[in-house]
Each structure stands twice: as C-alpha cells, then as structure tokens.
Structure 1
Amino acid sequence: MITTLSGDTSRLLSTVDFVKEQDTAALLPVLFPGLDGPELRTLVEHCRFSHAAQLVFPANETELRSMLSACGLVPALPPGPSVVVRERLAVRHQRRAGDLDVGILRPPVVGVDGAHRMVEVFVLTVPPGSDLDAVAEAEREGQHEAHVAFEVVAPDPLVLRGLCATFARYGATADGGGYNPHENGTVFYFGAAAEAKVGYRRVELYVPGDHRDVLSAHLAEHRSRQPAETVLRLLTGAWTTQALAAFTELRVPDVMEGEGGRGTGVEELARKVGARPRNLATLLRYLAMVGVVAEGRDGFRLTAVGALLRDGDQGSMRALALMYGGPFYQSFAGLGHTVRTGQVAFEHHFGENHFDHFARDPELAELFDQSMAAGSAMFDPVPAHPALTAAAGVPGGATVVDVAGGTGELLGRVLAAHPRLNGVLLERPHVVDAARRRLEDLGPRCTFLVGDFADVPESGDVYVLSRVLHDWDDEQCREILRHCARAMPAHADLLVVERALPADGAFSLATAWDLHMMCNVGGRERTAAHYGGLFADAGLALVGEVPLPLDGTVLHVRKADRPASA
C-alpha cells in the first residue's frame, strides 16, 4: 500500500524529471497546440521555462526533509510564505487564510540541456489527526496547484499584456494570480488549453516586480467566470472603504515604514495609535489582502498604495479616505432613495445640500477642500496645455481666472509653471481664506475674489472651470457657462477639467463618479459630446480635448464666433 508520504514523493519525483527533460521551445507548443512560427519565437524571446510545481503535505519538517532528499532536492529551509497559494486554498476550502501556513521552496534543478531551473514545492504541513486532512486529500486528487511556469524576461506592461493575450489566443484561460510582497513578484495563473498534450492543467507566468496594474485585468477576467465569488467581492466592497477609513483615522500609516523599510509588529503599532492589538491585526490582515500593507517576518509595512494615506505627504489621499468613509459613506446608504425619488441622498440624509453642510462645519469644510486637492494628480499635465503656454508667452503677461477654484491647487500649479502669468481665484468666503493661505507665496501675482458664478471677472486671457460643471444639472451648467462667456474677451480660452464619460461605454472612473455625483451632489458626469452641446447653448464651442491622469479630460473651449485662426 502506498503511504501518503510516498504518494507525495512519487508526484514530486515525476515533477523533478519533467523539469529536467523540458525546454522552453519544446514545451510551449505542447501546452498551446498550434503555436508555432513567429509567435512561438516571440514567446521564447520574452519568457523561459523556469519550473514546475507540486503541493505536498508532510506531517512535519522531518518528513519534508526525507521527501526532498528522496527526490535529490537540496533547498534552503525553512520555506518562505506563499501568499498566492494560501489565498487560493482558503477560497477553495472555505478556510481562514490565517489558518493555512503554506510555505514555498525552490530547490534548483539542472536540465538535460544544461539550463538551470527549479522545482517549486508548496508545503502545507498536516500533522496526524489534523482537520487539514480533508484539504490534503482533496488537493492530492484535484492537483489544483500543480503547474508549469515561465518567467518573463525584462518585463514591461506592454510585453506582459502581449504574453497574456497570446496565451488566451491559444486556448488558455485566466485562473487567478496575485502579488507576493515577500519576494516582490507577480504571478499570473492560466488554465491550460483543452488540447494541451501534457499532464499539467495550469500554466504560470512569473513576473519579477510589482505588476498589479496588469494583474487586475487578468483577475477580472478570471472572476467573470466565477459569478458567486464576483458577487461576494462586490458586496464586501463597502468593507474595504471602511477598513481604509479606519486605518487612516487611527493614523496607522503615519507610524509605519514604507517599501524598503522595516516592518513593525502589531503590538508596537497598537501602542503607538491606541488600538487593541488583536483587532488591529485583523484590520491589517485585511488590508494586506487588498495590497495596502505587506506582512513580513518582522511585521507590517506600507506598500506604495498604503503610503498614499499618510498625512502631509505629497499626493496624500488621506482626506479622500476620511471623506468617502465618512459623510459620503453615510449618504450612499440612501442611493436607493435617490434612484426611486430623484432626491439627492446627501440632502435626504443630512437635511441640506453638501455645500451648505460643509460650509457650516469648519473642520468638515477643510476636510472637503483637502479631499478635492487629494486628486490633484489629474492636474499634472494641465500647466503644459497649449492655451496656457501661449498665454505665458504674451508680452506683458496674461491672466488666468480660476472660477470656483477651490483652495487653488490647480491655479498654484499653473502659476508656478509660468512665472509670467498672473492669477485670479473666485470662490466662496471660507474657501478663499484657505486659498490665500495656500498661495501666499505668490504674493501680488494672485488676486482673490469672493463671489459666485455671476461674479466671473472680465479681462482674463484663460478661464478655468475645474471639476465644477459635474456638480450641477444641465440648466445650471448653461447658466454658469453663460456667465463665463459674457466675461470672456473675444480672444480668451476656457479650459474645462472634468472626467468625461467614454462614448463607447469603456471602463472609466467617470462612470463611478457619475453615480457619486447623482447620490451626493445632484450633478452628473457627461460625455464630451454632451458638454459640447452645453457649450454651444452658451455661445461657446469645443475646439479640443486632452486626456489627463485618473481618467480626466481637459476640454478646450472658445467663443463660438471666434475666427478659427485667432
């Protein structure tokens, strides 16, 4: 009778032999029948066969050592943590990921062609009588984690997307993946083509570095074939919002080190922020799952994502986390009321519109202004817009009028980039005070006006409406635009910064913000064509569009009767 251990050993021996005997050019057509010619040569150029993997279940470390020795493998012990396989097992067997201590070993193997490869050994220790016996038996039968792997050579997003597309074209299907912060590597799993002529049913692309931007599309494709999991992930999205808000409110990011720094233990973090260690550990494990923090042997540290929640850092999104997890989170509970009745959920919940509500609470008003500035990465290319560079070249200088310009985040960038430009910022009284403080270094180059849209000043050269029109319905937008048109000299330009809805329905942050504006403000996002109609109604014309980060757009507008050459 074959024992459990010898069964694992037998499978592992077969894996070792497979790794020794294969090479990249021969293995790819076996996995993807029909792949040949230029496409095969391209794949061989960009990826190489690196290993095959097997999941084993020793009772203890002694059995693991015996198993490896019997297969001629000499790895470094103990195993490192395998985040991706742990999460996959947790989902497949309805277990807490924290209860599954999955390790990973990569002992070297030399192929018959002299190439240096590895056997990837996943290790889940199953002591005698453990409640993990059922997991082990199901995995031995299903061989869900057995796979062959290719490592991407000199990866970049374009190459990576091309490899994924080629795999799909020859029958592979997205089958999950993840980012392992312990080794700074990204894994893409695929189901092998149905016609594959090899026993392994899964293929891995291993990519050194953090490539979660490309991975997200791969995972979305995988989840589209897992409807129940997709629904659960969607339903728990609110938990992520609150986890980020709590993490930020407790100021945990401010006492953690970022990428490249040391980890910090939960006890120390809890002491610094005044939290219960056990509860903080639960929060941090969740945030590790969504990529905000990373857990290592020395504790937790911030990822690049989590670092954006620090207070005071350039580009900090802390205020957004508190705003979306605070008042806007509360009002979103009334989304159904808005859809049913048309009343703005924020007004239904708080009894007044958000402008009035924030104006009456100085702390909340400051948080709102900070949250508006937190998305300022959208503004990075704006100062280089041709209308602004042309104005900056006018002899004697020119003036930029920022209508409802908030605390001056965008205007400050424009004036810093173009020392010959002057600025005028029009806003409500309490916002003007904050703008003066932010832009005080500009001295007399920036003038501040208290007023509303009817007070747009004349004699500007470039007018700016940044994230303003989406706050209002169409008729109010027409009124705002008419005020601008009346104030604009014949030669002036108007730059409208918004998230324009894609005309083809493609994925865009604008679609999410359209829902947000309906629920919390009573406004909406629009397509560029829709904005074009509003401009025309105000005697203006859309003459150009420039894309911005975070799915933003600059709409370049002029007076409709302005000659094309002017």
Structure 2
Amino acid sequence: MTTTIDDTARLRATADFVREHDTATLLPLLLPGLEGPELRALADHCRFAHAALLVFPPDDETLRAQLAACALDPDARLQPSVVVRGRLARRHHLDESALEVTIAHPAVPGPPPGSREDGEGLRTVEVFVLTVPPGSDLAHLAAHEREHQHEAHLAFEVRRPDALLLRGLCALLARHGAAPDGGGYTPHEDATVLYFTAPAGSTAGYRRIELHARGAHHAVLADHLREDSLREDSLKEDSLREDSDAHPAETLLRRLTGAWTTQALATSARMGLPDALDARSPTRLDALAPALGAHPRALATLLGYLAMAGVVTEHPDGYRLTETGTLLRADADGSMRPLALMYGGPFYRSFGALEHSVRTGEPAFDHLFGEHHFEHFARDPELADLFDRSMAASSRMFDPLPAHPAVTAARTVVDVAGGNGELLERLLAANPGLHGVLLERPHAVEAARRRLDAKGLGPRCSYVTGDFADVPADADLYLLSRVLHDWEDERCVEILRHLARAMPAHADLLVVERLLPEDGSPSLATAWDLHMLCNTGGRERRADHYARLLAEAGLRLLGHTPLPLEAAVLHVRRAEAG
C-alpha cells in the first residue's frame, strides 16, 4: 500500500506543477542566468508541454485509480516507450526485452485564455509506466528509481523544428550549463526527443530537460547522443581508473574470469536449465537435478555462479529464473539461447586460438576447422540454423528501422544476405504497401520462406537464391545488414559494386553495422572487431572508413543514425544520384 500512496502523491505533485507554471517563468529557473534576448529566443521557439515521471503500479487497475485520484484521465491511451525502456535497461544492466515500459499523456488545464501560449495545445503529465507486481524481480529497480527520479523531467515542445533550429537550441542550452543526457526517436509519435541534465544552480525542482521535436531529426539526434556518449565515457574512464589504481589485481582477476561466465551461460542453455526453471515460482534442487540429469552438488555450484551473474535467484524453497535469465529459454520472445550456444561453442573454441590470428592476421576459425566459417556452417544444417538464429537474437537493433524515411517511402525492398528474414519481416509487417525480396543461400531462403509464410507475409515476398553477384535490379530500397563486417576491404568494395550496378538512380541503400568510435572510447564495436578478426577475418570500421569504401564502389554516404545495441544505420545512395 505504501508504494501506491507514494506514486499517487508523486502524480498529484507533478500535475499541480504543470498547472502552475508557464514557459517564460520556468526557463530562468531551469537555466540560471538565462535572460534578455536569449530567454526571448528560447521562449519564442519552445513552449512548456509537460512534466514527466515514472510510476510502478502493481497492475492496470491500480494505475487507473491513481490517475483518477489526481484528476487525470484514467483511460489515457498507453503506448510503448522505447527511449525510457532503453535508459532503464542500460542503467540497471538488464536486457530491454525484460522491461515493458509504456507511456501515457493525460491532459491537464493549459495556459489561461488570452495568454501567449493559449491555443497551442494541451499540457500533459507524461506518465511512464512499468508494472511491478508483488514479489517481482523489478522491486529493487522501482525503489531505486523512486528515490533518484532519473526519468522525471520538464519538456518543451519545439515550434516548427528543423535541423538548424535544433542545433541552435542545443548550443544555447549548453552555454547555460545543460549537458546532453540521452534521447531517441519515438516512431509511435514520429518525434525526436533530446534530453539534457539541468545545471547545478537550477531551482525548478527538476534535474532533466527535454526538447521534443516533431519528426525524425536523425542527424541532430546522432550528434546529441555522440556528445552524451563522450561525456559518459569520460566519467566511466575516470571511475575505472580510480578502481584500477586502488585494486589492480582484483580488476585484472575479474577480467580474466570472463570466459567462465560464457561457459556457465552456454552450459545452462545446453542442459535446458532455463527451460526447467520458472520466473514466477521457485524450483527445488532435488527436483531440478534429476530432471536435467545433473549431479546435485555440481548443479548447485553452477546455480550459485548463475545467481551471481543475475540469471537466477536463490530462495529458501529453490531457484527462480530472473527476467534476464528468461532470455535463455528456448521459448522466450527474443530468445538469446542460440547466441549463448554459438558463443559458448564454435566461436569459443576459435577464441582459444586467438594468438594464431594476432600473429598471422588469419582467422583462428579457419585454422581450427580447416575452412571459413560460412563454408563450415553451410555443410552442417543444424549449425547453419543455429548461426541464423543467433544472428536473429540481436534483432532488437532493428526496432527503429521500419519507421526510417527510406523504408516508408519504398515500394520494393531487397534484403541482401538477409538470413532467416527477421529484418524483412519487421519491415513488411510495419509497412503494408511494401514488397520484399530476399537474396540468400538455399538453406536460409527456405528458413525465411517458412518464417514469412507463418506470419502471413509470404504473398508480399519473393526469393532469390544466389550470392552478391545476383542482386536484383530496379528496387527502391536495398538492405545490407551486418554483412560488410565479415569481410576485408577488397571484398567489401566488390560487394558494394554489385549493389551499385543493381541500384536505380533513385534507390536508397541502408547498411546496418556497428561503428568503431572515432576517439577510441569503450564500445561494443571494439569487442566485435576482435571477434571478427578471430572468426571471419573481417573487421568493424569507423564511419569515415565505410565512406571511403562506398566511394570506391561508386556510392555516397549521406549520413548515419544510431540504433539499439550500439549499432548504426548508414544511409547510402549512388554517387551521381541527387
């Protein structure tokens, strides 16, 4: 009951704040020293739109009661909140699929009639909702977020936004001490949000500011997130440096045991341990061991390690799967079990021969198995299927792509080396007028056909069996997702030339890859760069490196936009195209 009252009080206080403030008086409170022409300029281009908070009701009925108690619409429409879900996942080291965050915008009375902002739209309370039933593993997250109020912020709607105006507003906020603090594109609203941390002297009672701009402003968002990343990485490096100075042996020891975690996760997946556990009720060890054919004491040791890794929790009456651990179940939505089996299997073996790659520049996989991994997997249907499913396990990086302007404007899309059709499925499902073409190896084509037929998308898709020389011509859009990093530069240029020859002058090419940071800051791309060296002979690259390869193939990089899981989508056209 305490948490219900607490969230209701927070909702009421937020609604009262929205009713009582306007743009001109609020901006100087947020940005001390903002006055004169700069204040007028900011007020001219922005209006106070909402105050936001994150609540944690145990169920939908409680949320409705909380809203009604604060004179807010209990039937306000709930939609997925992509940006806050990602922020919570990163902050609490959880997978995004473990969090179902929604968002509602119940209205409150706006500016009084006759005021400058009268008629510009209702003000709202932006309510982020994460349902936390009693006994949920997320209770600690809810307690932390209530205490620290990370998602509470004040939002200003940007009037008639364009790239030049948004960059100018970002610079103005920075001059007055506001620091970039994340953001994203919300396809459900077709809106770009840019978050900032308010300066230390702010007296508004809120530590975060949001600029809310209608439309997709990908280039501005990418620059904003890059500034935020540079700031965060600097803070992390300082923290790690302090840790390392204080406990260098412990720091190194933790790094050296990373392989143990890989094998613990892979072993549990192979044994079916996550499938034998439940996320709601504990399972006793004496029931679990015989079901898995495991030695009881040895299984208890593994479970202890998995508990430390956040995959299971131990209770007096047994073990329970966490929401993170649920992703290792074979039947989980977005299951990462295939990835665990691949990283703990063939790729784990090749990493044991990493020294060979470093000394020779050749893939350790080829050295161990006597052939390139694509040929090796092609000769083993089960391994080939596991590889395709492991690629699909990282598919949440594709979440924003169905709303990309190049996708929504296309009539025909060709997914080159599109695997089992995961990306194509997403694009076709979100864009009913789109026709898809998949180019792949024979076994992958059959897997994709089964997948797309099962989703009712088969009539809108055709298939081409072949390699890069067989790219179909005359489409509006071409996709090349996580392909170029498998190859060295010469082969990449050859692949891109095949695409350039097939692409009409009006066509777009979207390339999905991880980009190496330009400043050497920590990045998943750096880890995958080592992985590609060891297993494929390929590499990750910086954006300017891809631009050079594209230019050599007669293509032009227009820009790139960040995606989840530290990926990016590069927007490309033929060099002579407008």
Instruction: Give TM class, smaller chain.
Output: 0.5 to 0.7
Report the equivalent of 1:201: none
Structure 1 CA distance for aligned equivalents of residues 572 and 382 of structure 2: 36
Structure 1 CA distance for aligned equivalents of residues 577 and 529 of structure 2: 32
CA 1:342/1:546 → structure 2, altered by over 3 Å: closer, same or farther?
A: same
| Partner secondary structure for residue 304 of structure 1 | coil
| Partner secondary structure for residue 308 of structure 1 | helix
CA 1:517/1:280 → structure 2, altered by over 3 Å: closer, same or farther?
A: same
Report the equivalent of 1:53: none
CA 1:152/1:546 → structure 2, altered by over 3 Å: closer, same or farther?
A: closer
Q: Find 1:322's aligned residue among 326, 341, 352.
A: 341
| CA displacement at 1:506 relative to structure 2 | 1.8
Farther off after superposition, 262-271 or 311-320? 262-271
| CA displacement at 1:348 relative to structure 2 | 0.2
| CA displacement at 1:158 relative to structure 2 | 6.3
Alignment of 1:187-266 (within 5 A): 220=240, 223-225=243-245, 226-258=247-279, 261-266=280-285
| 8 Å CA contact 1:379, 1:410 repeated in 2 | yes
Report the equivalent of 1:479: 494
Alignment of 1:245-324 (within 5 A): 245-258=266-279, 261-324=280-343
Report the equivalent of 1:555: 570
CA 1:485/1:438 → structure 2, altered by over 3 Å: closer, same or farther?
A: same
Alpha-carbon displacement from aligned partner over 1:266-285 (angstroms, at most 9, x marks no partner): 11111221111111100010
Alpha-carbon displacement from aligned partner over 1:200-227 (angstroms, at most 9, x marks no partner): xxxxxxxxxxxxx999999856642311
**Which letter does structure 2 place at the counterpart of 1:245?**
A
If asked which structure has higher relative contact order (CA below 8 Å, sep 6+), I would say: 2
Q: Find 2:545's aligned residue among 526, 530, 546.
A: 530
Structure 1 CA distance for aligned equivalents of residues 388 and 373 of structure 2: 12
| CA displacement at 1:151 relative to structure 2 | 7.9
Structure 1 CA distance for aligned equivalents of residues 515 and 262 of structure 2: 24
Rg comparison, structure with higher value:
1
| 8 Å CA contact 2:402, 2:430 repeated in 1 | yes
**Aligned positions, number:** 356
Report the equivalent of 1:428: 441
| CA displacement at 1:364 relative to structure 2 | 0.7
| CA displacement at 1:409 relative to structure 2 | 0.4
| 8 Å CA contact 2:347, 2:365 repeated in 1 | yes
**Which letter does structure 1 place at the counterpart of 2:148?**
P
Using the size of structure 1 for normalisation, the TM-score is: 0.60
Structure 2 CA distance for aligned equivalents of residues 433 and 218 of structure 1: 50
Alpha-carbon displacement from aligned partner over 1:520-542 (angstroms, at most 9, x marks no partner): 00000001111011111111111
Detail structure 1 runs of 4+ shifted over 4 Å in the superposition.
150-153, 156-160, 213-222
Alignment of 1:128-207 (within 5 A): 153-157=146-150
Alpha-carbon displacement from aligned partner over 1:303-362 (angstroms, at most 9, x marks no partner): 121111000211100000000000000011111011001121000000000001001111
Structure 2 CA distance for aligned equivalents of residues 540 and 484 of structure 1: 9
Q: Find 1:500's aligned residue among 515, 525, 529.
A: 515
**Which letter does structure 2 place at the counterpart of 1:417?**
A
Structure 2 CA distance for aligned equivalents of residues 233 and 306 of structure 1: 21
Q: Confirm whether residue 400 of structure 1 aligns to residue 421 of structure 2.
A: no
Structure 1 CA distance for aligned equivalents of residues 334 and 386 of structure 2: 15
Structure 2 CA distance for aligned equivalents of residues 266 and 556 of structure 1: 52
Report the equivalent of 2:378: 359
| 8 Å CA contact 1:408, 1:425 repeated in 2 | yes
| CA displacement at 1:154 relative to structure 2 | 3.6
| Partner secondary structure for residue 328 of structure 2 | coil
**Which letter does structure 2 place at the counterpart of 1:228?**
A
Alpha-carbon displacement from aligned partner over 1:346-392 (angstroms, at most 9, x marks no partner): 0000000000100111111111111011111111111111101122x
Q: Find 2:428's aligned residue among 415, 423, 426.
A: 415
| Partner secondary structure for residue 504 of structure 1 | coil
CA 1:335/1:536 → structure 2, altered by over 3 Å: closer, same or farther?
A: same
| 8 Å CA contact 1:223, 1:229 repeated in 2 | no
Alpha-carbon displacement from aligned partner over 1:434-489 (angstroms, at most 9, x marks no partner): 11111112122100100000000001100000000000000100000000000000
CA 1:505/1:156 → structure 2, altered by over 3 Å: closer, same or farther?
A: farther
Structure 2 CA distance for aligned equivalents of residues 277 and 338 of structure 1: 40
Structure 1 CA distance for aligned equivalents of residues 462 and 489 of structure 2: 30
Report the equivalent of 1:369: 388
| 8 Å CA contact 2:516, 2:543 repeated in 1 | yes
| CA displacement at 1:291 relative to structure 2 | 1.0
| Partner secondary structure for residue 558 of structure 2 | strand
Structure 1 CA distance for aligned equivalents of residues 371 and 519 of structure 2: 35
| Partner secondary structure for residue 148 of structure 2 | coil
Report the equivalent of 2:464: 449
Alpha-carbon displacement from aligned partner over 1:235-292 (angstroms, at most 9, x marks no partner): 111111000010100011011111xx12112111112211111111000101111111
RMSD of aligned alpha carbons = 2.4
CA 1:156/1:405 → structure 2, altered by over 3 Å: closer, same or farther?
A: farther
**Which letter does structure 2 place at the counterpart of 1:542?**
L
Structure 1 CA distance for aligned equivalents of residues 568 and 149 of structure 2: 26
| CA displacement at 1:501 relative to structure 2 | 0.9
CA 1:159/1:276 → structure 2, altered by over 3 Å: closer, same or farther?
A: farther
CA 1:157/1:517 → structure 2, altered by over 3 Å: closer, same or farther?
A: farther
| CA displacement at 1:507 relative to structure 2 | 1.6
**Which letter does structure 2 place at the counterpart of 1:421?**
L
Structure 1 CA distance for aligned equivalents of residues 288 and 507 of structure 2: 55
CA 1:279/1:557 → structure 2, altered by over 3 Å: closer, same or farther?
A: same
Structure 2 CA distance for aligned equivalents of residues 216 and 156 of structure 1: 21
| 8 Å CA contact 2:362, 2:533 repeated in 1 | no
| 8 Å CA contact 2:449, 2:458 repeated in 1 | no
| 8 Å CA contact 2:496, 2:553 repeated in 1 | yes
| CA displacement at 1:153 relative to structure 2 | 4.8
Alpha-carbon displacement from aligned partner over 1:491-512 (angstroms, at most 9, x marks no partner): 0000000011111112211111
Report the equivalent of 2:175: none
The answer for unaligned runs of 5 or more in structure 2 is 1-28, 31-142, 154-231
Q: Find 1:386's aligned residue among 390, 395, 405.
A: 405
| Partner secondary structure for residue 303 of structure 2 | helix
**Which letter does structure 1 place at the counterpart of 2:529?**
D
Structure 2 CA distance for aligned equivalents of residues 436 and 408 of structure 1: 8
| CA displacement at 1:156 relative to structure 2 | 4.3
| 8 Å CA contact 2:435, 2:461 repeated in 1 | yes
The answer for unaligned runs of 5 or more in structure 1 is 1-37, 40-149, 161-212, 392-397
Structure 1 CA distance for aligned equivalents of residues 434 and 476 of structure 2: 10
Report the equivalent of 2:186: none
Structure 1 CA distance for aligned equivalents of residues 505 and 147 of structure 2: 53
Using the size of structure 2 for normalisation, the TM-score is: 0.59
Report the equivalent of 1:470: 485
Q: Find 2:367's aligned residue among 345, 348, 366.
A: 348
Structure 2 CA distance for aligned equivalents of residues 151 and 361 of structure 1: 48
**Which letter does structure 2 place at the counterpart of 1:530?**
H
